[in-house]
Structure 1
Amino acid sequence: SLIQNVIEPAVKAGQYVVILGEEWHTSWSMRLISDALYYRGIRDRVVMLWNANNTYGFDRIEWAALNLASTVTTVSRYMKFRMWEWGQNPIVIPNGIPPEAIIDADPAVSARLRSAAAAEHMWFKIGRFDPDKRWLMAVSAAALLKRRGRSVKLLMRGGREPHGAEVIGHAINQGLVVRNSASPANAAELITLLTATNGTDVINLTTFLDDSLVPLMYSACDAVLANSGHEPFGLVGLEVMAAGGIAVTGATGEDYAEAYRNSVVVETDDPVEIVTELAALKEKPRLAAHLRRRGRVTARDYLWPKVIGQLMLRIDFAAERQAVSRPAEPAPRKPPRVIRAAVPRR
């Protein structure tokens, strides 16, 4: 079991043990593990954290028992406020991205992609087909832009959720030309697809999109629409910044997003807001370049090595609250004593 094979040997070895559970379905496990540790007399050697990454299943959680067993955390101030509705006051520890997410896209390839799109506005949106992601808002913004006489190319990659049919139907009803296509395997195939779809407003990618291609699309597009109405943290927006793209985020859990400093932040579900903001960036290329630069700086602040540093400080706090005894730290090694031989004077 977890306790016999992992926790007890670690405690005997004098190691600092931390258990982190996440989401509603692990809440009962945290209580059971805590009770089992008490029975074995080692509860005071283990720090237990339970993290909420979304509001799913909150109605199934026994909050009082969970708080006795662990310290409750979450990923953003927005989630902290949402959890106040449930009588909880969690500690905020942000999500992070790996160092490999900081990518310098080939500017020549990005330029070829924009040229192949042959549109004044090139946008990208990726995520589940969920109403919380505000797909209808994004599609409506593209349609509004087209009615104003501007050309737009919206690349979309959703999932298999039923809401996808509603999104595609809405796009067609709004007067947008939609083409469904398998996802390209590389940049060359994407350029070919864009070239072959001149006159198409929306390209709906229907198959798996290779991870290596996504950052390039983030960087090449004028904007990536991560305009969710409910986002516990918003990892996509941060990944867009890491790739040198311009993220259009919502105004919920995206604590890292600062309007006009490192991103575009939409405050409403009105598609006019997207059109207005992105039209302004077209008129102010220096501002657009500034958002790309500052976004990269922000993304570096959320690399996992830095986030883990924050996590460790919070673990120390949780250990104090749970009366956990930290293992004794090894005594610092004394530097070797240097003995200098006396040299007789002549």
Structure 2
Amino acid sequence: MQIGIDGLLLWGQYSGVERSIARMATTLARLDQTNRYTIHVPFDCEAEALAAAGVEVRRAPFRGAQKLTRILWQQGIFPGVLAREGADVLFAPGYVLPLRWRGPSVLFVYDIIAIARPDLASRTNAWHYRALLPRSVRRATRVAVPTEHVRRQVIEQCGVMPSRVTVVPLGVSPRFQRVEDPARQAEVRLCCQLPERFVLTLGNLEPKKNLPRVLEAYDILRRAGIRQGLVIAGQPAWGAAALRESLARCASRADIVLPGYIADEDLPVLYSMADALVFPSLTEGFGLPPLEAMACGTPVVVADVPPFDETLGDAAVRVAPEDPQAIAAGIRQVLEDPLLAARLREAGREQAALFTWERCASLLAKLFDSAVTAHG
């Protein structure tokens, strides 16, 4: 079969969703010798890795930053392009389906934050996904979600039959393993201006990442005598004003580093050097960074939210995300209890090993077949 992939979100610096789309496409093309894969991307997408994996790349006539143009092209022009290219199945791994597509389709929905927690989504994303995501879910032949928690939310919020929604966990790339090479560590330390020892938090700098409370927790830790610095890694996103205001009020501002976006090749090094990863998001659909850090042997402190029951189990310290005191206590546990940190490192590596992109791709390939059969 010819599988057409909507890769229109792939441009610029990738965050979790974009990295997942690229990894799913390359792994499918590498492992699935039965089907052919064509991905449609903005014309400024850096698609060398996709092509090298055997994915045919088609470039749409707009830049990735042209969001309104992308939406209009996706909904108006893309279905005809797919039909002319003879696509047997459309794989839409970016929340939204071209609603005029009439063939079999598999939609991937990572979360429904724009619907369930619009206060944690940008105004444009809340409008876009609230308008199109439920309709896309109902239109899709099959829907993939990363956790059972998201599955329940999609069924309830979008009014779709449970039999059409399947859990397809995301994966951790094999490159996420502990890096002890002093030269690589020195290179990343210099590039990012990292302190000798630090606690790391990583992700887009947006409200759902709960960073103002991380700063409050860090002030508490410094007053308690914790000497590690705090590294807040990630690219600025919407709602950055609240973070700037919190930084201005933070008594420990001099011990905080914001290195910006971290290149993919540097992520395993950064995880490996951190004494702990703190990831107290207010909501998540899956959350890749905790599993990536675990694969690198780094202890993890995360929010006590439902998806982490499935993905992390008891391999992480869980904290109430709305309580800075609780966040600080969780971090302090890891930093001051060597036996706990050692247990988390071992359990974390075992937990991360359960999630592979090969398994993800295998489940998706079965969904493509199921979509064709169900479509008739």
Q: Establish whether TM, by shorter chain, passes 0.5.
A: yes
Distance 1:79 1:291 in 2: 26
Cα pair distance change 1:265/1:314, threshold 3 Å:
farther
Q: Is residue 2:246 matched to residue 1:170?
A: yes
Choose which of 174, 193, 197 in structure 2 pairs with 1:99: 174
Deviation readout 1:8-40 (Å, 9 max, x if unpaired): xxxxxxxxx54211345x42x2x4222xx4xxx
Q: Is residue 2:89 matched to residue 1:32?
A: no
Distance 2:236 2:134 in 1: 33
Distance 1:167 1:125 in 2: 13
Identical columns (%): 21
* Contact 1:257 1:265 (C-alpha < 8 Å) held by counterparts: no
Distance 1:172 1:65 in 2: 42
SS at 1:203 equivalent? strand
Residue 50 of structure 1 aligns with which residue? 107
Distance 2:375 2:285 in 1: 27
Residue 271 of structure 2 aligns with which residue? 218
- How far residue 107 of structure 1 moved from its aligned partner, in angstroms, is 6.6
SS at 1:213 equivalent? helix
- The one-letter code matched in structure 2 to 1:267 is A
- How far residue 74 of structure 1 moved from its aligned partner, in angstroms, is 1.7
Cα pair distance change 1:107/1:288, threshold 3 Å:
farther
- The one-letter code matched in structure 1 to 2:158 is W
Distance 2:368 2:147 in 1: 17
Cα pair distance change 1:167/1:68, threshold 3 Å:
closer
Cα pair distance change 1:118/1:3, threshold 3 Å:
closer
Distance 1:222 1:63 in 2: 41
Distance 2:181 2:301 in 1: 21
* Contact 2:281 2:321 (C-alpha < 8 Å) held by counterparts: no
SS at 1:155 equivalent? strand
- How far residue 68 of structure 1 moved from its aligned partner, in angstroms, is 4.7
- How far residue 270 of structure 1 moved from its aligned partner, in angstroms, is 0.7
Residue 80 of structure 1 aligns with which residue? 151
Q: Which ranges in structure 2 are unaligned for 5 or more consecutive residues?
A: 1-80, 115-127
Cα pair distance change 1:285/1:61, threshold 3 Å:
same
* Contact 1:229 1:252 (C-alpha < 8 Å) held by counterparts: no
- How far residue 220 of structure 1 moved from its aligned partner, in angstroms, is 1.7
Q: Is residue 2:329 matched to residue 1:292?
A: no
Cα pair distance change 1:133/1:65, threshold 3 Å:
closer
* Contact 2:206 2:236 (C-alpha < 8 Å) held by counterparts: no
Q: Is residue 2:72 matched to residue 1:19?
A: no
* Contact 2:201 2:279 (C-alpha < 8 Å) held by counterparts: yes
Residue 231 of structure 2 aligns with which residue? 155
- The one-letter code matched in structure 2 to 1:32 is R
Distance 2:285 2:182 in 1: 35
- In the comparison of the two structures, how many residue pairs are matched? 270
CA RMSD of aligned residues (A): 2.8
Residue 278 of structure 1 aligns with which residue? 331
* Contact 1:140 1:171 (C-alpha < 8 Å) held by counterparts: no
Q: Is residue 2:115 matched to residue 1:60?
A: no
Cα pair distance change 1:18/1:286, threshold 3 Å:
farther
Distance 2:258 2:139 in 1: 48
Q: Is residue 2:258 matched to residue 1:204?
A: yes
Residue 307 of structure 2 aligns with which residue? 253
Distance 2:334 2:136 in 1: 50
Cα pair distance change 1:109/1:282, threshold 3 Å:
farther
Distance 1:244 1:228 in 2: 21
TM-score under structure 2 length normalisation: 0.63
TM-score under structure 1 length normalisation: 0.68
Choose which of 125, 134, 141 in structure 2 pairs with 1:70: 141
Cα pair distance change 1:157/1:68, threshold 3 Å:
closer
SS at 2:322 equivalent? coil
Distance 2:133 2:272 in 1: 44
Deviation readout 1:258-304 (Å, 9 max, x if unpaired): 23xx2222233211112212222234312212211222222222111
- The one-letter code matched in structure 2 to 1:123 is V
Deviation readout 1:145-193 (Å, 9 max, x if unpaired): 1122332300112323353343243234231133xxxxxxxxxxxxxxx
SS at 1:216 equivalent? helix
Distance 1:284 1:53 in 2: 35
Deviation readout 1:104-147 (Å, 9 max, x if unpaired): 3117579987xx8456xx21112222111010111111101112
SS at 2:170 equivalent? coil
- How far residue 231 of structure 1 moved from its aligned partner, in angstroms, is 1.1
